[in-house]
Amino acid sequence: MSTTSPFPVPQYLAKLSFDGLREWFSSQPTSVLLSLAQTVCANTYGNKVYLRGLIEFSNHCFCDCLYCGIRHSNHKVERYTLSEEEIIAIVQRGIARGLKTFVLQSGENRQDLPETMSRLLRRLRRFANEDIAFTLSCGVYPREVYREWKKAGANRYLLRFETSDEDLFSHLCPGKSLSRRLQAIEDLKIEGYAVGSGFMVGLPGETLDTRIQNVFLCRELQLEMVGIGPFLPHPDTPLASHHSLPIEETVRMTALLRLLLPWANIPATTAAGSLHPRGREMMLEAGANVLMPNLTPTEKKRHYLLYANKICLDEDGWECLSCLSLRVASIGKSLSFAKGESLLREEKR
Ligand code: SAH
């Protein structure tokens, strides 16, 4: 698969088996991984960093994932759902500011969502033309629902598989299975979405082998977008007493992803910025090429805490834009307001 890739995957890496890759990866200092990944990223995306406006439109969730701060059993969470008018106003303001992609994220398994999301998308499409992309990140739904949302105006979908270890997945996400999640990813592809997935780095119970398997799974799925970030413990979850791995581990995994999936859009995630003050910059230096300013209204943001110490809670998302611009300039990159399709999609055109 990747050996026939039109992108400059270092060929010796693309051909390595699991054991070969693990050995190679473990023996490389981080500085070497970074410089390889930077070269590949520069060849494919130049020094551009694409922007996606993130709207956390609802924290209602009927799942009970052990790691997640908005899990159903966390009764301390004040639940909210933004109204259609609020969401539309944010998107309109974003478009006026030049943003071209909006990510609508929420908790999972909501009975009402199939219908309300379709209605919202249709309203958004009345003023957002095809230059604007809508990405959904709302969890697993039946394929027919994905089809309806696509018809109503969605273009892309983010659904992390979280971990490639089936047993660990079942343990961390009671009542859910990795195979169902992977089925949903296939459904989304069939329905024509640009699909993103990814995983957390450092989940309690995972090993380096799991992480390398995670990267292999991303490649096998031929993902257009890959979102990863460190696991961060939330005090009101069963994993409260566990610790994150140092940021370096997320940075190394980012570099490996860029080397094996040169075409992918890879965000420098808020979780990385929450673990380390330069976490997002470090991910960008390791081959990430996307940033997601959080446009959720400030008074709601603090109720969407998937993990502790989340950054930018007191800032307005619009202030984030100028902050991000300075941050990327500090590492010699610049923000791009382009729609930013993955190169895999461009290639298929
Ligand atoms: N309900 C949607 C969106 C989930 S929130 C869905 O199921 O896809 C987005 C991502 O946040 C999750 O996929 C997970 O990878 C990440 N996340 C959740 N809890 C976290 C934690 N404690 N630390 C780091 N990342 C976390």
CB neighbour list of residue 275: distance below 8 Å, 6 or more residues apart = 230, 232, 244, 247, 250
The closest of 155, 96, 95, 85 to 123, measured between CA atoms, is 85
Q: How close is the Cα of 231 to the center of ligand 1, in Å?
A: 9
Using H for helix, E for strand and C for coil, what is the string for 24-61? HHHHCCHHHHHHHHHHHHHHHHCCEEEECEEEEEECCC
Residue type, position 117, single letter: M
* pLDDT, mean of residues 249-269: 97
Q: Largest Cα–Cα distance of the chain, in whole Å?
A: 53
What are 178-236's pLDDT values in tens digits?
999 999 999 999 999 999 999 999 999 999 999 999 999 999 999 999 999 999 999 99
Query: Using the 8-state DSSP alphabet, how is residue 19 labeled?
Result: H
What is the SS3 assignment for 86?
A: helix
**Residue of the nearest CA to atom 11 in ligand 1?**
306
Ligand 1 atom with minimal separation from the 237 CA: 22
- Does the pLDDT of residue 27 top 80, yes or no? yes
Mutate to test the pocket of ligand 1, among 61, 67, 138, 146 (most ligand atoms within 8 A of CB): 67
The pLDDT score that the predictor gives to residue 5 is 47
- Does the pLDDT of residue 3 top 50, yes or no? no
Structure tokens at 125: 């499409």
> CB burial class (10 A; 0-12, 13-18, 19+) of residue 185?
buried
Ligand 1 close to Cβ of residue 159 (< 6 A) = yes
Ligand 1 close to Cβ of residue 231 (< 6 A) = yes
162 or 7, which is more confident?
Answer: 162
The pLDDT score that the predictor gives to residue 189 is 98
The pLDDT score that the predictor gives to residue 318 is 83
Ligand 1 close to Cβ of residue 139 (< 6 A) = yes
Host H or E run for residue 204: none
Query: Using the 8-state DSSP alphabet, how is residue 314 labeled?
Result: S
> CB burial class (10 A; 0-12, 13-18, 19+) of residue 25?
buried
Ordered by where they begin, the domains of the chain are: 11-348 (3.20.20.70)
Q: How close is the Cα of 167 to the center of ligand 1, in Å?
A: 18
Confidence category of residue 348, pLDDT binned at 50, 70, 90: low
What are 95-136's pLDDT values in tens digits?
999 999 999 999 997 889 999 999 999 999 999 999 999 999
> CB burial class (10 A; 0-12, 13-18, 19+) of residue 45?
buried
Ligand 1 atom with minimal separation from the 138 CA: 2
Ligand 1 atom with minimal separation from the 162 CA: 15
The pLDDT score that the predictor gives to residue 113 is 96
1 or 204, which is more confident?
Answer: 204
The pLDDT score that the predictor gives to residue 347 is 67
Q: What DSSP string describes 207-249? A: -HHHHHHHHHHHHHTT-SEEEEEE----TTSTTTT--PPPHHH
Judge whether 61 and 108 are in contact, CB under 8 Å. yes
* pLDDT, mean of residues 39-55: 95
